[in-house]
Amino acid sequence: MMPAPLTSTLGAFVAAIGREGAPADARAAAVTGFIDTCATTIAGRREPAVQVLLEASRPLPAGRAPLFFGEQATDASTAALLNGTAAHALDYDDVALRGHPSAVLVSTILALGAQTGACGADMLDAYVAGYEVWADLVDRETDIHHVKGWHPTGIFGAIGASAAASVLLRLDAGQCAHALGLGASQSAGVMSNFGAMAKPFHVGRAAQAGVLAARLAKAGFTASADALEHPQGFLAAVSPQGRVDRERPAAAGRPFQIADRRANVKRYPLCYYTHRALDGMLALRVRHGVQADQVAQVEVRMSQEHATVLRNHRPTTGLAAKFSIEFAMASALCNGRAGLAELGDACVQAPGVQRLIERVTVIPIPADDPQTPGAAYADQVFVTLRDGSRLEGEPVHQALGHARRPLDRTQLRAKFSDALAYGGHVGDAAALFERLAGLDCQERVFA
C-alpha cells in the first residue's frame, strides 16, 4: 500500500491542531520559545539591519500588529517581516531542528494573532503545529543543508510559518496543504549571507511568507498537492545529495516531537556552533586563572561541518564575529565573556582581541554525535601558554542552555531582563516575563 501523500497528510495534521488544540506538554514546551523570542526581538530592534529594513518599509501599512513589543503597529505581513528580522538580528534566539524555529514561528504568530484576536492557547497551538511540521521535514534529510549552502531556517521556516499561520486562520485540511505548498515556494536563504544583514532577513522573510501563504490559501489560491514530496518538489530540491526520504508516512504529532526535542536557549549572542567551545574556554580560564597575554596558541577541536559554518576567520565587525570561532575564543580570553557588549565593532577590533584571533586554530574531528547531525560528540579547547605549558579544557557535549541542560527559571529571567535592557525597553520587564510565562491562560494577548 502506498503511503498517504506527505503534503496532504501534513495539511490534515495542521488542520486538526487548529480544531482540537495541542497536548498540554507540547504547549508548555512552546512557552519558552515565546519568552526567548520576545527577549531577542526587543534586544535586536535597534540593530542596523532592523532599522534599515524599517526605513525601507515606510510608509508602514496600517494595522494592529505591534512592532518590537512597543507602541508602533502595522499590518501582520510587515510586522512578521520586521519582528522576525529583529528576533534574529543578534543571533541570540533559540536553536533546534537545524535552525532557529522560535524566531520564525513566534514572529508569525504574534503578528497574525494580533489581527485575529487569538488567545494565548491558540498561539501556542500554532507554534506546536509549525514546530512539528518543521521537525517532520528536517528529519527526512541525511545530509547537512549548511554544507550545500542552504540556511535551514529560511527554507524550512517558510513552511513551518505557513503551518502556524494556518492554525490561526482556522484553515481546513485542503487549505492547510495549499498553504504548506505556497510556503515551500517561498523558501530561501543562503549560507554566503551569514555575517551580513541578509541572515536575519531570512527569518523575517520566512515569517512573512507564512502569513502570506495562509492568507492566500484561505482565499482559494492553490499549490500542488505534492509540493513537498514530488521528485521535483521541496525536499528533493533542497537536499544536498538527494539522500532524502520523500516516501515514509508523515510523523508529525506521532508522537509530538516538541516535548522531547525542546529548543536550545542560547547563552551567548553568537552562532550556536561556538557555544560548546565557549563553555569549555570560559571554564578553563576560570579554573587555571589564564590571562590573555599568557596565551601563545589556542586549539579548538570541533567537526568540520560546524567549522564550515563559522566562516569568518579574521572578523572586524560584530556581525562577522558572530560566525567566528576565533573571535569567540579571543573574547572569552580577553573579556571573560562573549555577550552583547562584546559584539560591538570596537570590541571586535580591539588590539588584544585581534592578536588572539590570529592564534586560534581549528582541528576538525569526526561528526559523531548521534543526537546532533553534523556535530562532534564533544567540542574541546586546548591552550598553549608562552612558557610552553599546555592546558586541556573539559570536553563539552552539550552547552548550558541545551534542551538537556536547560537554563533554570532564574537564568532564563536573567537573559530576558538583560536583553530587554540592551534593547532599551522602558516597560516592566518582570511583568512581561510573567505574562508570557502564563500565555496558555491569556484570553486576550493583545488589547
pLDDT tens per residue, range 401-426: 999 999 999 999 999 999 999 999 98
Quick check: is 439 in a domain?
no
Quick check: is 243 in a domain?
no
Last residue of a domain, one of 238, 259, 282: 238
Which pLDDT does position 3 carry in this prediction?
60
Does one domain contain both 174 and 39?
Answer: yes
Quick check: is 233 in a domain?
yes
Does one domain contain both 229 and 320?
Answer: no
Dump pLDDT digits (tens) for 363-375: 999 999 988 888 9
Ramachandran quadrant class, 97 (left: phi over 0; alpha: psi -120 to 50; beta: rest): left
Does one domain contain both 231 and 289?
Answer: no
Dump pLDDT digits (tens) for 214-249: 999 999 999 999 999 999 999 999 999 999 999 999
Does one domain contain both 127 and 69?
Answer: yes
Dump pLDDT digits (tens) for 172-204: 999 999 999 999 999 999 999 988 899 999 999
Does one domain contain both 311 and 355?
Answer: yes
Last residue of a domain, one of 392, 424, 441: 392
Does one domain contain both 31 and 177?
Answer: yes
Does one domain contain both 234 and 299?
Answer: no
Residue among 137, 133, 178 nearest 160 (CA): 133
Which pLDDT band holds residue 1 (cuts at 50, 70, 90)? very low
| Beta strands, E only, 318-431 | 360-365, 380-385, 390-392
Last residue of a domain, one of 343, 370, 392: 392
Does one domain contain both 94 and 196?
Answer: yes
Does one domain contain both 197 and 277?
Answer: no
Quick check: is 48 in a domain?
yes
For the chain, give the mean pLDDT.
Answer: 94
Which pLDDT band holds residue 427 (cuts at 50, 70, 90)? confident
- Residue 437 has, within 13 A of its CA and on its CB side, a CA count of 11
Quick check: is 360 in a domain?
yes
Domain count, the chain: 2
What CATH number did the domain enclosing 168 receive? 1.10.4100.10
What CATH number did the domain enclosing 353 receive? 3.30.1330.120
Quick check: is 408 in a domain?
no
Which pLDDT band holds residue 357 (cuts at 50, 70, 90)? very high
Does one domain contain both 211 and 327?
Answer: no
The x, y and z cell numbers of residue 341, run together, are 557588549
* Span of 125-129, 205-209, 297-301, 423-427 with lowest mean pLDDT: 423-427
Does one domain contain both 298 and 206?
Answer: no
DSSP label at 95? B
Quick check: is 436 in a domain?
no
Enter the pTM of the model: 0.89
Residue among 92, 91, 171 nearest 129 (CA): 171
SS3 360: strand
Quick check: is 420 in a domain?
no
- Return the ∠ at Cα 267 (arms to 433 and 164), rounded to 5°: 55
Does one domain contain both 215 and 295?
Answer: no
User: Residues 178, 221: contact at Cβ < 8 Å?
Assistant: yes
Enclosing domain of residue 347 = 272-392
